[in-house]
Amino acid sequence: MVQFTKLRLTGFKSFVDSTELVIDSGLTGIVGPNGCGKSNLVEALRWVMGETSAKRMRGGEMDDVIFSGNSGRSARNVAEVEVVLENADRKVPAMFNEFEQLEIRRRIDRGAGSSYEVNGKEARARDVQLLFADASTGAHSTALVSQGRIGALINAKPTDRRGLLEEAAGITGLHSRRHEAELRLRAAEANLARLDDVIITLESQLQALKKQARQAVRYRNIADQLRRSEAVLLHLQWLEAVARAEQADASFAAVEAAVIETTASAAGEATRQADAASALPPLRQREVEAAAQLQRLPSRRRAWRKKRSGSSPPAPRPSAGAARPRRISPANRLSPRMPRRRSGSWARSARRSKAPRARRPRWSRKPPAPLRLRKPLRPRPRRSC
């Protein structure tokens, strides 16, 4: 069984200065008036053994255990409590069983939380609580009797009395480990249930992925076949295009040869005609040139010129100031009508306009249309009565 030997306090509640309390073998008592800090010592032991409730420490939050200052001194930002245990029997947990003396320290910084150290090494709060539970003590041990604790033990429920008996029997540490193991077991069971749900979900996804994989493989095979077919088709089209190009080249060569031959023959014919024309007398040569020029004119103009050349010579063109004769259409030659008298603004503008109207050249005029006469009326045959 471990033995408490020393208790050091620094900045804890009313112990603003470093204070050391020696606990020798036997009975150690602290006597003093009300308000001298006797209850603070008990709370310091409970706090260093792993107390996590600020209400049990008579405060609103855990930072209230730090010295808050008074009229003569300013407040502190750090509180520290250290307890020294004798471990000659080596009955503490295996992780701390290599030391004969254990120095357990808890330190709290304002606004930063608390930390634990065992012989200068950082430790977890759970490990410190198990260490004191195996020693049949701790923050919630019945060995720490405070004000009103006796009445609470007398009126305790069966569950609380069971905890008292377990602590007296020295199995509090085992009970804590059992509770921790049960929590871990429940968490493992919850994880297994969750894992079953995940497995079911993954199996359904696996089936869908297998189906998609089959579709992807089929798509790749069909796409590969399509690419090969397109390649063969494009190759055949290329061969056909090459054959057409060769055939077109051969046709072009034949046409080019024919054009060259035709050009050569036309050049020879022109040469012969030039030689023949040079041999004719000058009058005959002018007639040939006129005939060639007539062939170059348009067909309508050529016919009109031919018609004019066979008729009487054309009438002289009237001058710009002469009066323009009235043109009568062939359809009205048999029944000429009097020209309409111009009146109004159009007539005035016509009288004011003295410039002659623009006339088209003779070669662009159309020849007059032939005269179309009505058929003579035939008398009806008389019917004999």
Q: What is the pLDDT along the chain (385 residues), one digit of tens a residue?
A: 567 888 889 888 888 888 888 888 878 888 888 878 888 888 888 888 888 888 878 888 888 888 888 888 888 888 999 988 887 777 777 777 777 888 889 999 988 888 998 888 888 888 888 888 777 677 777 667 666 666 767 777 777 777 777 766 666 667 777 888 899 899 999 999 999 999 999 999 999 999 999 999 999 999 999 999 999 999 999 999 999 999 999 999 999 999 998 888 888 888 887 777 666 555 556 666 777 766 655 555 556 666 666 544 555 555 545 455 555 555 444 444 445 554 555 445 545 555 555 555 555 556 666 655 555 556 666 666 5
Distance CA 11, CA 275 (A): 142
DSSP, res 364: G
With H, G, I as helix, E, B as strand and everything else as coil, classify residue 233. Answer: helix
DSSP, res 86: E
pLDDT tens digits, one per residue of 1-15: 567 888 889 888 888
pLDDT tens digits, one per residue of 51-105: 888 887 888 888 888 888 888 888 888 899 998 888 777 777 777 777 788 888 9
Reference 55, options 235, 216, 47; nearest CA is 47
Q: Nearest 5°: phi and psi at 146? A: -115, -175
Angle between helices 172-279 and 125-134 (to 10 degrees): 160
Quote the pLDDT of residue 200: 92
Quote the pLDDT of residue 50: 84
3-139 sits in which CATH class? alpha beta
Helices (H), ranges, the chain: 38-48, 125-134, 149-154, 158-169, 172-279, 282-296, 299-310, 344-352
Pair 302, 294: CB distance under 8 Å: yes
Tell me how long the chain is: 385
What pTM was estimated for this model as a whole?
0.46
DSSP, res 339: P
Quote the pLDDT of residue 197: 92
When the pLDDT of each residue in the chain is averaged and rounded to a whole number, the result is 76
Token pair 């994880």 is at which residue?
191
Angle between helices 282-296 and 299-310 (to 10 degrees): 140
Pair 43, 118: CB distance under 8 Å: no
Partners of 20 in the beta sheet? Answer: 8
**How many CB atoms are closer than 10 A to CB 81?**
26
Distance CA 325, CA 359 (A): 13
Quote the pLDDT of residue 16: 85
How close are the terminal C-alpha atoms of the chain, in Å? 173
Distance CA 314, CA 335 (A): 26
Q: What is the dihedral of CA 316, 318, 323, 324, to 10 degrees?
A: 70
Tokens read off for 377: 């009326």
Distance CA 317, CA 315 (A): 6
Quote the pLDDT of residue 232: 94
Tokens read off for 282: 């000058």
Domain boundaries, the chain: 3-139
Distance CA 185, CA 86 (A): 35
Q: Nearest 5°: phi and psi at 118? A: -125, 110
